[in-house]
């Protein structure tokens, strides 16, 4: 069964000019990345932000052409530090939807990226590297998984766990080598492992998941949670959650029964944020042929969720992210159609399911090369990173004060 480009994914193939620049109240602060850079990811850490991205050895290069480098830079005091190299080589698997990340914990930083393991398109591994000096130097520590198959491993989420890090990923070890969910080839699965100096033994969390939607993890006061797009035997692909409670992983549970039955992966994963026992999950669905971005909130560390609220039911493409604001609201980002172009929008949702007005934060395109915008919050500053896909891709970033996101009128 091949990837589906229906609904929002089909719309991403339509090329269009970018929307207007962000409002003047939003400060552009573009990172020091070369033309052709892509796959940005953000982490708030030490009072600033870490940004990772992929860039080609030859400026303006395209995925699959030549060497690629995973870079990291810190934004502190309003300016970006000199970029550092985490890893580079000609074996990188470079993809618009499966992007690297970095996590910060007591033992330092842990980064991940995808590297080809065989000649087939989807034969790639999750490679890991550590830094003990704030990202100035990096040491490879091996793979996140130990199955040794030339199959797909990706869509990773990293979380600090004590002095170590917890990794989650989609794992194709049960699928035909190098395939991507053709009939009879086995299923994509969700795995996790603790990562110290090396990755520990992988643990199976869900034996059947959607093949290429991003995962997202967060740490609650009761333990870690992972959200992802599940896949039933009837091809219903709704969002599920797995939690660790009392040292044991729970069985997968649906966040909400959307009932989206689709014969292929929509390449549009969920996002989760947590603080204490508060959890917010946001996702895209096109169940009943109605494209929507939904958010659901939990006050018991993800054990139960309230009825979802519609963030955008008019023109969403998805590609979501979420964070928890300082006033108790969740702040959602997503990509929405705007004529032949697209916009990155932000919106508040309260624990009582009340909505603020959406804010157009940046213009973008509907093209897949514009990727998945990422955001995070440090103090009162919200940072947004995205790809400008007009011509050679370029990384863009913008900062705004949390209070600039329209308040909820009560």
Q: Which residue has the higher pLDDT, 69 or 181?
A: 69
**pLDDT score of 67 more than 60:** yes
**pLDDT score of 342 more than 70:** yes
* Domain membership flag for residue 226: yes
Task: Estimate to the nearest angstrom the gap between the alpha carbon of 405 and the chain centroid.
Answer: 22
* Domain membership flag for residue 112: yes
* Domain membership flag for residue 251: yes
* Mean pLDDT of the region 6-31: 54
pTM value is 0.92
| Residues 6+ positions from 160 with CB-CB distance below 8 Å | 103, 104, 105, 106, 166, 219
Give me the pLDDT at residue 64, please: 67
* Domain membership flag for residue 343: yes
Q: What is the domain range of residue 97?
A: 7-404
* Cα distances (Å, whole numbers) of residue 72 to 44, 87, 101, 135, 316: 13, 10, 10, 7, 30
Give me the pLDDT at residue 132, please: 96
Work out the number of other CB atoms within 10 angstroms of the CB of residue 173: 20
Give me the pLDDT at residue 176, please: 66
Asked if 244 and 224 count as a contact pair (C-beta separation under 8 A), the reply is yes
Q: Which residue has the higher pLDDT, 136 or 1?
A: 136
Share of the chain above pLDDT 70, in %: 90
* Domain membership flag for residue 24: yes
Share of the chain above pLDDT 90, in %: 83
The count of domains in the chain is 1
pLDDT tens-digit readout, 324-337: 998 889 999 999 99
* Mean pLDDT of the region 201-216: 97
Closest CA to 280 of 244, 240, 329, 319: 329
| CA angle in degrees (0–180, nearest 5) for 243-245-248 | 90
**pLDDT score of 192 more than 70:** yes
pLDDT tens-digit readout, 70-87: 999 999 989 999 999 999
* Mean pLDDT of the region 1-14: 33
pLDDT tens-digit readout, 352-402: 999 999 999 999 999 999 999 999 999 999 999 999 987 789 999 999 999
Q: Which residues pair with 114 in a beta bridge?
A: 126
Give 346-386 as a 3 state SS string. EEEECCCCCECCCEEEEEECCCHHHCCCEEEEECCEEEEEE
pLDDT tens-digit readout, 99-152: 999 999 999 999 999 999 999 989 999 999 999 999 999 999 999 999 999 999
The CATH number linked to 134 is 2.120.10.10
Asked if 364 and 341 count as a contact pair (C-beta separation under 8 A), the reply is yes
Note the maximum CA span of the chain: 57
* Domain membership flag for residue 1: no
Give me the pLDDT at residue 23, please: 66
Distance CA 32, CA 382 (A): 19
* Domain membership flag for residue 298: yes
* Domain membership flag for residue 410: no
pLDDT tens-digit readout, 274-308: 999 999 999 999 999 999 999 999 999 999 999 99
Model confidence band, residue 66 (pLDDT cutoffs 50, 70, 90): confident
Give me the pLDDT at residue 2, please: 37
């Amino acid at each position: 069964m091949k990837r589906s480009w229906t609904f929002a994914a089909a719309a991403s193939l339509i090329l269009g000019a970018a929307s207007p620049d962000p409002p003047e109240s939003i400060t552009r602060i573009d990172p020091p990345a070369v033309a052709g850079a892509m796959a940005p990811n953000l982490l708030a850490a030490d009072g600033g932000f870490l940004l990772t991205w992929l860039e080609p050895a030859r400026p303006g290069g395209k995925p699959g052409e030549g060497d690629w480098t995973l870079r990291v830079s810190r934004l502190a005091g309003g300016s970006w530090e000199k970029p550092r190299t985490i890893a580079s080589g000609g074996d990188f698997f470079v993809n618009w939807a499966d992007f690297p990340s970095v996590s910060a914990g007591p033992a330092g930083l842990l980064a991940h990226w995808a590297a080809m393991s065989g000649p087939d398109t989807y034969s790639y591994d999750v490679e890991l590297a550590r830094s003990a000096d704030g990202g100035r130097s990096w040491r490879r520590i091996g793979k996140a998984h130990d199955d040794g198959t030339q199959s797909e491993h990706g869509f990773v989420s990293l979380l600090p766990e004590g002095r170590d890090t917890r990794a989650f990923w989609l794992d194709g070890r049960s699928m035909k080598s190098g395939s991507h969910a053709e009939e009879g080839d086995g299923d994509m699965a969700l795995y996790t492992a603790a990562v110290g100096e090396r990755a520990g033994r992988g643990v199976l969390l869900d034996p059947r998941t959607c093949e290429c939607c991003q995962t997202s993890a967060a740490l609650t006061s009761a333990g870690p949670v992972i959200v992802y797009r599940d896949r039933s035997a009837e091809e219903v692909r709704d969002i599920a959650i797995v939690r660790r409670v009392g040292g044991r992983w729970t069985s997968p549970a649906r966040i909400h029964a959307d009932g989206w039955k689709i014969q292929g992966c929509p390449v549009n994963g969920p996002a989760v944020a947590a603080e204490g026992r508060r959890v917010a999950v946001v996702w895209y669905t096109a169940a009943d042929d109605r494209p929507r971005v939904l958010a659901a909130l939990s006050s018991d560390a993800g054990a139960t969720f309230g009825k979802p609220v519609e963030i955008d039911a008019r023109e969403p493409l998805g590609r979501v992210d979420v964070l928890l604001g300082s006033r108790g609201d969740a702040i959602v980002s997503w990509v929405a159609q705007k004529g032949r172009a697209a916009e990155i929008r932000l919106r508040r949702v309260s624990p009582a399911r009340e909505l603020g007005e959406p804010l157009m934060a940046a213009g973008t395109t509907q093209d897949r090369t514009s990727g998945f915008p990422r955001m995070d919050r440090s103090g009162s500053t919200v940072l947004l990173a995205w790809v400008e896909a007009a011509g050679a891709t370029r990384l863009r970033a913008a900062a705004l004060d949390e209070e600039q996101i329209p308040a909820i009128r009560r």
